[in-house]
Structure 1
């Protein structure tokens, strides 16, 4: 009898504990994941289970208040500053593929859904933002993006004998599958499955570029080694290497290999955390990774695996910098410049300019007559450096595109307040000028001048109108009213105000010093437009796109695109936009301008997130060039389709040895 009573008491106490703290019922889900992670950390070959990750994610119930606050932050930011908010409602131009969307309306509609979990709500926001196909507009709830999901194999596409197929590029588990054709994935035609996945990516408005991004290839690391690049520079985004939880725990591949032998296998996702921060329960996980907490510092848990290095047969490297590699092809007359990024470390910015110039000088000294400019897989980066590279090859060209920003009640106040605090109307901060010492050569003078200019003309706010000038007058704006102007355009069926067209007053901080370094006074290269060709896989984004489009549109440099869908034109660049701004940067600049303290603007200011989230948006838009071949009204570059003039596809050799492709391009298009 006593034993029975004891059992009864235990059950009663357990029930009371459950009722008092119902959230503890969810603790088991992330607790199980935490225990498996501890085991996997001891052996990197062990993966946590897909079902455990999903259960942990789905253990957090939907919080209506948290959802409303998140939507409010997104909406007020977009309504105040997102330059493409109206244009996103427009149907795509021929050649592009995306869904016209009213972002504010769709964000509101999410709140009417009957969500059960926070995970589904947050991933629905991320998917909605992705539908714009604007790579500069992104929302990643940190809570659900801390793992990587790896198939431990990679895919690429070839066109052989007029047939496009998907092949296996590399396989960490079974080397015998390499170069086998993947006929089906999960029982469906492989290209159909890859396209379906690629069209969920936001990386480009061109579906062919998204297709390329979903596959793998090769790229150069900082050492100049040619290594595999799944998902472009091994960033999650490829079909086989992701950062968002896949719907299924595994993928089935049907192969056709040598001698028409068939093979089928199923591959589980290898799941690893990107961060080493520990947790033991759902509460731990939620407080560490999901709720905003500036006191928690994350530490990386990225795997360091020595990459396979691929060799090139038709070239030799003659120079390399942090972001550029310079080669001479086996024909001994064609140089290749591979630009992997436009984003050197800030402290090396001016040095990188000199280094890039040295690379071109090396090609010139070697007697190079033709240039292949390979911008494939380039995420962009510094607009200043993009301008410099255009100046370098075309020193008499203005590399700027006309820009504008959206004018709203909030952005208008930001222009007025930031400009009222500006020191840039008539002078720069001379306290930042370094002493003129150890100057003994033309290069040292140029370096001192460039580094000084870079520092003293640094703009503290993107809303400071004195940092911009009127391209029609070539003079800086003198008043905020002049900068704002009176410009209303009908876009997406909505009348929207925009600022006057502007360009950067200091050519993004360097102005005449860019021309000085580029050889405008010292040296001019003999290469002409007809001696060059731009080669990309379509993924030449942001400031890389500005380089490619300026050279192609204003300087008539030919373009060639690689990959994409067979017999479908492919863009040679993507998301040219104008400038991306992170949410934290926006808040910092609004705070510095005093807008956060202005109670009359309280209803317009986006509140801080209550969650950890990476949110960025496009602040400025670039306009197309108006020239003799394009007499129509300026169009917005982001929404203007620019297909390459020429097209090449990869085969089993050129997919791993780009020098073979470069030589083919040189022989067929530069002779």
Structure 2
């Protein structure tokens, strides 16, 4: 599951120093008041407001202490991230989180915003989309580039193309630029610049192709989760510079984009434009609404006291993503589409024997579980009734969610699936949490099962494995029990006797993460369902899934669990952040089938390449039905065999 948008500050690789982030313009007395009530602000106006709030050493120390505790005691990949294995096909760099936090602590920051973005950047460099720090305080503005880009194959070469323009935020933008090739960005070859950005500045995945897809704007896949905030034209964080230059070459009048007949190239300078939140009138009200946390003074509490210091209402608001003024739903309504969790679409014409199951999300709320099961079962029955012989399982741009929903889907097609062993990093603090969970039969920790141990013994009987350069203690191998999930549902069964593995094709742009990645991996590795990669860098083999780490946690949810277990005052518990913020991390690592212990068998640090490949072009980039028709022809012609 993806937590919240986070990434670098702009196109150029940032260096975490106060010098390169220094404020270049004099601050007015209240720059936030100057733009309050406006819908649009300039880059410098928004920057002045965001950087108006001074660096607070006490806030910084509390923030770093919480991040450090989570990384050290709870983040399962902390040690391997510092010294990762070199795997062909993966783009990983060593990131010692503890050392990075020390560097941040010893830096003199000019503003509070610069500090918090530095923390977010550090975690982003691990290339684990589960690992994220998101300061809601500085994610309220939305920054747009009027030119929105995608990557297409045109005349057998990969080009950067203007997907569409936003004339609503910048009147100088011209609709006629749509379909023009971008040859240079900031005086660099456009493709080189974009690939460089994908490799260095995007933490979505360890697969470069997935990162490239993530920073491009593909309107066909925008399923409603707030994902585009780290692409080339849409940020929730402050960009590094005011504008960028684009050199365009556009087709001559009345010619198509795929005809190499162009007008003379020209260069335009395009500013970042800020969409302004509406819930403040000045700097004080901005801080009080978006930044001030009810936990700000929690360090002053008496740890020996049994007083409840956690504000559960605030934690719930943060956990449910309700801390945005410009909500993800409102933002994603621009140029996007939203729909149900899964859609069953029979194709037409020569592809009438092919059906598409578009799995848009596994983030299924508890009240929707029965509906999801009913709809999925009904969809398969209807496909069978309609004579559908081949199925495209479209998992593109799926951010994951409920692992039990994924298990239900796999079992519906193929019956039981071999367990993928997983384990949890050991710490004395988490041992107390797990034991208390079993004593009280509360929280998610009771949903894990072990073949050899009962109760909490799976966690207390530890085993040591090498991770990077260190020996690290882990729990016994476990798997997730979905008994509770299944017990809540009425008995809806579907016995698949029609479709075998070769009748199904996984379609993925690589942005299939967490639960989606585990589902795709099980289908491909255990059930031999072939996978087609979509998009990415031509000539570069791509994976069909990203960040398959195992399972993630959110600090907001973890703290609510501690409250339920009456462990909120445990001296080793991570404290709530002193400003309104949240953090996510992977707490359970998962292995390839039948493998346990070796870091080279972790799905997060393994390569699972697609069996075949398709790229976007001028016809299918903005028309998902045309894309599905192209994929259907590959499937019907048997052109994507299992490798």
- If the length of structure 1 is used for normalisation, what is the TM-score? 0.79
Alignment equivalent of 1:57, drawn from 50, 55, 62: 50
Aligned to 1:179: 179
Aligned to 1:205: 206
- Residue 94 of structure 1: SS of its match in structure 2? coil
Indicate conservation of the 8 Å contact 1:376/1:537, yes or no: yes
Q: Distance in 2 between matches of 1:74 and 1:104?
A: 9
User: Aligned runs of 1:221-370 on 2, under 5 Å?
Assistant: 229=222, 235-258=228-251, 259-261=261-263, 262-273=265-276, 275-281=277-283, 283-293=284-294, 300-301=325-326, 321-331=340-350, 332-370=352-390
- Residue 510 of structure 1: SS of its match in structure 2? helix
Q: CA 1:230–1:251 in 2, change beyond 3 Å: closer, same or farther?
A: farther
Q: CA 1:468–1:159 in 2, change beyond 3 Å: closer, same or farther?
A: same
**Structure 1 residue 252: deviation in Å?**
1.5
Q: CA 1:387–1:181 in 2, change beyond 3 Å: closer, same or farther?
A: same
Indicate conservation of the 8 Å contact 2:220/2:624, yes or no: no
Alignment equivalent of 1:504, drawn from 480, 493, 496: 480
CA displacement 1:499-554 (0-9 Å, x = unmatched): 1111123356217979x5342xxx32310011111011010111111211110000
Deviates more, 1:116-125 or 1:526-535: 116-125
User: Aligned runs of 1:488-499 on 2, under 5 Å?
Assistant: 488-499=464-475
Comparing both chains, which one has the higher relative contact order based on Cα–Cα distances under 8 Å and sequence gaps of 6 or more? 2
Q: CA 1:233–1:358 in 2, change beyond 3 Å: closer, same or farther?
A: farther
Q: Is 1:607 matched up with 2:575?
A: yes
Alignment equivalent of 1:665, drawn from 622, 625, 631: 631
CA displacement 1:409-448 (0-9 Å, x = unmatched): 11111112221212xxxxxxxxxxxxxxxxxxxxxxxxxx
Aligned to 2:298: none
Q: Structure 2 stretches of 5 or more lacking a match?
A: 1-24, 168-173, 252-260, 295-310, 318-322, 638-643
Q: Is 1:481 matched up with 2:457?
A: yes
CA displacement 1:147-174 (0-9 Å, x = unmatched): 1011233211112233111001111332
**Structure 1 residue 197: deviation in Å?**
3.1
Aligned to 2:556: 584
Indicate conservation of the 8 Å contact 2:420/2:594, yes or no: no
Aligned to 1:10: none
Q: Distance in 1 between matches of 2:117 and 2:324?
A: 24
CA displacement 1:210-253 (0-9 Å, x = unmatched): 11010111347xxxxxxxx4997663222111111111112221
Q: Distance in 2 between matches of 1:180 and 1:79?
A: 48
Q: Is 1:374 matched up with 2:342?
A: no
Aligned to 1:626: 594
Q: CA 1:251–1:508 in 2, change beyond 3 Å: closer, same or farther?
A: farther
Aligned to 1:452: none
Alignment equivalent of 2:433, drawn from 389, 393, 414: 414
Largest Rg, 1 or 2: 1
Q: Distance in 2 between matches of 1:648 and 1:387?
A: 27
Q: Is 1:552 matched up with 2:524?
A: yes
**Structure 1 residue 264: deviation in Å?**
2.0
Aligned to 1:315: none
Aligned to 1:517: 492
Alignment equivalent of 1:388, drawn from 379, 403, 408: 408
- Residue 360 of structure 1: SS of its match in structure 2? helix
**Structure 1 residue 305: deviation in Å?**
9.4
Indicate conservation of the 8 Å contact 2:224/2:336, yes or no: no
Q: Distance in 1 between matches of 2:341 and 2:459?
A: 38
Q: CA 1:61–1:233 in 2, change beyond 3 Å: closer, same or farther?
A: closer
Q: CA 1:540–1:147 in 2, change beyond 3 Å: closer, same or farther?
A: same
**Structure 1 residue 373: deviation in Å?**
1.0
**Structure 1 residue 555: deviation in Å?**
0.5
Q: Distance in 1 between matches of 2:331 and 2:129?
A: 28
Q: CA 1:309–1:196 in 2, change beyond 3 Å: closer, same or farther?
A: closer
Q: CA 1:517–1:504 in 2, change beyond 3 Å: closer, same or farther?
A: same
Alignment equivalent of 1:402, drawn from 421, 444, 447: 421
Aligned to 2:30: 31
- Residue 150 of structure 2: SS of its match in structure 1? strand
Q: Distance in 1 between matches of 2:423 and 2:473?
A: 10
Instruction: Name the count of aligned residue pairs.
Output: 567
**Structure 1 residue 632: deviation in Å?**
8.6
- Residue 48 of structure 1: SS of its match in structure 2? strand
Q: Distance in 1 between matches of 2:219 and 2:508?
A: 13
**Structure 1 residue 286: deviation in Å?**
3.0
Indicate conservation of the 8 Å contact 2:343/2:358, yes or no: yes
- Residue 539 of structure 1: SS of its match in structure 2? coil
Deviates more, 1:50-59 or 1:347-356: 50-59
Q: Is 1:461 matched up with 2:440?
A: no
- Residue 30 of structure 2: SS of its match in structure 1? helix
Q: Distance in 2 between matches of 1:510 and 1:270?
A: 48
**Structure 1 residue 357: deviation in Å?**
1.3
CA displacement 1:355-385 (0-9 Å, x = unmatched): 0111121111111111111111111111111
**Structure 1 residue 387: deviation in Å?**
0.8
Q: Distance in 2 between matches of 1:144 and 1:506?
A: 37
Q: Distance in 2 between matches of 1:305 and 1:230?
A: 8
Q: Distance in 2 between matches of 1:517 and 1:403?
A: 29
Q: CA 1:488–1:528 in 2, change beyond 3 Å: closer, same or farther?
A: same
Q: Structure 1 stretches of 5 or more lacking a match?
A: 1-25, 42-46, 221-228, 311-319, 423-459
Aligned to 1:14: none
Q: Distance in 1 between matches of 2:406 and 2:188?
A: 43
Alignment equivalent of 1:169, drawn from 153, 157, 163: 163
Q: Is 1:70 matched up with 2:63?
A: yes
Indicate conservation of the 8 Å contact 1:326/1:359, yes or no: no
Indicate conservation of the 8 Å contact 1:370/1:532, yes or no: yes
Q: CA 1:111–1:209 in 2, change beyond 3 Å: closer, same or farther?
A: same
Q: CA 1:215–1:305 in 2, change beyond 3 Å: closer, same or farther?
A: closer
